[in-house]
Chain A
Amino acid sequence: MKNKKLLSFLMIIMIASLSLTAQGSKDVSSNTDEIEINFWHHYSGESAENKTLTNVLIPEFEKENPNIKINAVSHEWSELHDKILISSSSKNLPDVARCDIAWLPEFQAMDILVPLDTEMSDFNTVSSSLLDSAMSTAFINNHYYGLALNTNSKIMYYNTQMLKDAGVVVPTTMNEWEKAVKKISGKNSKGQKIWGWNEPGLSAWNICPFIWSYGGAITNEEQTKASGYINSPESIKAVETFVSLYKEGALTGFNSGDIPMTDGFGTNRYAMMLEGPWKMAELKGAYPDLDYGTALIPAGDGGAISVLGGEDIAMFKGPHQDAAWKFMKFMTGEFAEEEMAKCGQLPVNKKALETDTVKNSDFAPYIEAIKTAKARPTVASSSKIDNELMVAMHEVLSGEKTVKEAMDDLAIKIDALL
């Protein structure tokens, strides 16, 4: 009995001392004047961007600002969005995050972002150094909730050998594109199935370029109405072409069982695809000997309209706004933008765009594409609209509904979400 009492006494002492040491170590760190800024991003762990960030940019920033320490955390792209939602409910957000432009309206609706134009006195000076079109992605409800960090769009990648084997030239119009996609598809010399076009998803990022290039639209300019736009004859024609190519076995990629995009393109199974600037580095790493070329998306009745992508850097409501602002200015400054351009990030800083690094890079077609590219709906319900579009596309592909029926129903659903 005595022994047991002694044992429990010892355990209590141990637990108490553990919690005391934990407390102690916390005090030590808060005693220094150093401010720690948590920066969440989705440069993938092993990427060149992440190496530049951790080996070049952060050391440089910390050298310039010795009292600020940057704690950069890498997440998967899709995971970061979910992680911010989870963390906001526990009020445990980062100070700064690199956000996909599509997420900003959602986060703004959650009231977790800092309106930079009202809070930061030098906002106008900073924002004028960045591209207006890119900055427009951060403009929500009459305020700016972020700085443009990098921009991108999609251009067409084609497998030179596969086009040559099928005897087709690089399509420049949607009519040529449709014929080329059909002509390439079939079987290769090994008896494996090959496809003219790869489309890895059915969301707005994937479907919008077709709808826009065929002259259709998702909503009106004011983003208040979808009826008459998503179910317009032009939009329907775009979706019908897409679906008929899929049904003929000339287009695939969005099914869970399909060959992943890069592998399919690299192993000569997918002949063409629309992709962003990151794909060049990826192909160089995975398939260095692949002979491929790039071109603008083929033009339809609406022109050659690709989708505008990219990231903004946004500040979350927190205690270290001045330090966070310094870091955001650094990340969108000429030095950081030029360094990131070396790893395939398309800059938005006007001075960085004039540097030799950018001028001599493979970016040229992207800079051309961005001139006409359009942004997806910048409304808080954008992820729900994305989901409805994906479901509607599946309904058509599986034959449950005709394109007209599905788009009419979709218009009603999007109207309700706007």
Chain B
Amino acid sequence: MKLNNKSNRIQVGILMSPALLIFAIFTIIPIIRLFFMSFHEWNLSSMFEQSFIGIKNYKVVFKDNFFWTSFTNTIVYAIVTVPLQMLLGLIVAILIDGIKKMSVTFRILNYLPVITSWVIASLVFKYIFNTEGLLNYFISNILNIGNNNIHWLDNRWSGLWVIMFLGTWKGIGWNMVVFFAALQQVPKELYEASSLDGCKTIRTFFSITLPSIKPTILFAWVMLTIGAFNVYTSVKLMTNGAPAHKTETLLTWMYYKAFSTGEFGYSAALSFVMAFSLALIAVFQFKIISKKEN
């Protein structure tokens, strides 16, 4: 359908309007309102009448030690889980691509964690890593190592490692599917040519497979980074920020400040700080992508 035809334009406009309206009501307007909130004194005692306070909320955010803890935790989560799930997903995809039998079975098995609910997976992980949980039972009662159970979920870094472990485990399947699809697109002739030239497997992987699926790698990288910044359910259910807010991530901290202490102005400012950081990272990622493509 050509859009330079007037009646076509009207028709497209009418057909798109319900979706655009919903998008505006539920996305655009709240974002504008949130931006407005972030410059106002908006807390429990000023729920209905707010005064403009400029960038004070932003200043408070940057001076808050808990913000920096949650920000660092989120960055660490992204730096660890994103490359790890991509690497493991790619390895699984290559292994499955290489087998003739049972390929579908393995694909399903690896994809199961992805379709498992975050809530259930988090609760199962909590059960495993509890101080009196399955892993400690295995370590102290079966392997008989050490007398005291390890407090996996009760320290900042060990708690974060469990959260990152869950994030990685749940992400491998998605990466496998994406990379598997990309591997199928690599022309078979290239592999034939390289084998005729006497290339070893490793050389083939780095010279043919990897360059051919580069766009997919970059796509996964960007998507997973955004996903990593959105980590919430697993933290909320496994540690809920404990001990003393040391395992909070940006979203759990934002939720806590808004809905447990009623500091909506603070949370609004925090959400823009988070969006801005994510935008910066995305710009950086796209720079790399466009450089590589050139």
Contacts and interface: CB of A to CB of B under 8 A. Distances in A.
Interface string B102-130: 00000000000000000000000010011
B45 A109 contact: yes
A259 B132 contact: yes
Contacts of B154: 255-257
A395 interface: yes
B259 A391 contact: no
B47 A391 contact: no
A380 B43 CA distance: 12
A89 B264 contact: yes
A182 B202 CA distance: 61
Interface string B11-33: 10011001000000000000000
Contacts of A85: 44, 258-259, 262
Given A82-B259, A257-B129, A258-B130, A191 B243 contact: no
Contacts of A394: 243-244
A72 to B, nearest CB: 22
A11 B153 CA distance: 54
A193 B130 CA distance: 14
Interface in A349-387: 380, 383-384, 387
Contacts of B152: 257
Nearest to B263: A384
Contacts of B151: 255, 257
Given A258-B132, A384-B261, A109 B44 contact: yes
Nearest to B238: A256
9 contacts: A88-B47, A110-B47, A255-B151, A255-B243, A256-B126, A256-B242, A257-B126, A257-B130, A257-B133
Closest 7 CB pairs of A and B: A394-B244, A257-B131, A257-B153, A82-B259, A255-B154, A256-B153, A391-B244
Interface residues on A, range: 35 or more
B167 interface: no
Nearest to B240: A256
B182 to A, nearest CB: 36
B245 interface: yes
Given A109-B44, A112-B47, A380-B45, 17 more contacts: A5-B11, A11-B15, A85-B44, A85-B259, A106-B44, A110-B262, A111-B48, A191-B141, A257-B126, A257-B132, A257-B151, A258-B131, A383-B260, A387-B260, A390-B244, A391-B245, A398-B244
A4 interface: yes
B89 interface: no
B239 interface: yes
A86 interface: yes
A12 interface: yes
A394 B245 CA distance: 10
Contacts of B259: 82, 85-86
A211 to B, nearest CB: 19
A255 B14 CA distance: 56
B243 A398 contact: yes
A258 B131 CA distance: 6
A387 B261 contact: yes
A259 B153 CA distance: 12
B159 interface: yes
A344 B244 CA distance: 33
B149 interface: yes
B244 A8 contact: no
Contacts of A383: 260-261
Contacts of B15: 8, 11
Contacts of A106: 44, 262
A82 B260 contact: yes
A86 B260 CA distance: 10
Nearest to A269: B132
Contacts of A191: 141
A256 B14 contact: no
Contacts of A22: none
Interface string B239-253: 110111100000000
Contacts of B258: 85
Contacts of B129: 257
A28 interface: no
Interface string B261-280: 11010000000000000000
A12 B16 CA distance: 11
Contacts of B44: 85, 106, 109-110, 380
Contacts of A112: 47
Nearest to B45: A109
Nearest to A264: B132
A255 B154 CA distance: 6
Contacts of A256: 126, 153-154, 159, 238-240, 242-243
Contacts of A109: 44-45
A90 B126 CA distance: 35
A383 B47 CA distance: 17
Contact of B47 (A89, A192, A258): A89
B216 to A, nearest CB: 36
Contacts of A8: 11, 14-15
